[in-house]
Amino acid sequence: MSCLKNLAVEKICNLILPALTKTYADSSAAFKGGVALALCEMSPYIGRDYTQMKVMPVISELMKDESADVRLNCVQNIMKIGDVLGPDLIQPDVLLLLTNLTKDA
C-alpha cells in the first residue's frame, strides 16, 4: 500500500473507496478478504472522518460475513483502523462482533 502515499486523499476517497465498497458484496471470500485488508490499510491515509463514514460500515458488514477467512482478515487488521479512530470511536457493534467471534472460535 505504499503507492497510496503518492495519491491525493480526494482520489482515494472519490475513486478507490467507492469502487471497493460497491463491488465487495457479491464477490468471493478471497476478494472480500482483500477488500478488508485494503480498507484497513487505507485508513491512515484517508483520515479519521472518511474512515468513520466510509470504511467502518463496510468493515462492520465484512465482520458479519459467513466466511471465517473474511472475518479473520478484518480482525487481524482492525488495529490499523483503531490507530486512526482511537479506541473511543470504534463503533460498539464492532467490539460486540469481536467478542462474538472469540466465542465462535
pLDDT in tens, the chain (105 residues): 555 555 666 777 777 778 877 777 778 989 899 889 988 988 888 888 888 888 888 888 888 888 888 888 888 888 888 888 886 666 565 666 666 666 555
3-class secondary-structure state, position 25? coil
CA dist 37 and 43 (Å) reads 10
Domain count, the chain: 1
Q: Which domain holds residue 77?
A: 2-104
**Helices 68-85 + 29-50 axis angle, to 10:** 10
CATH of the domain at 56: 1.25.10.10
Across the chain, which distance is largest between two alpha carbons, in Å?
A: 41
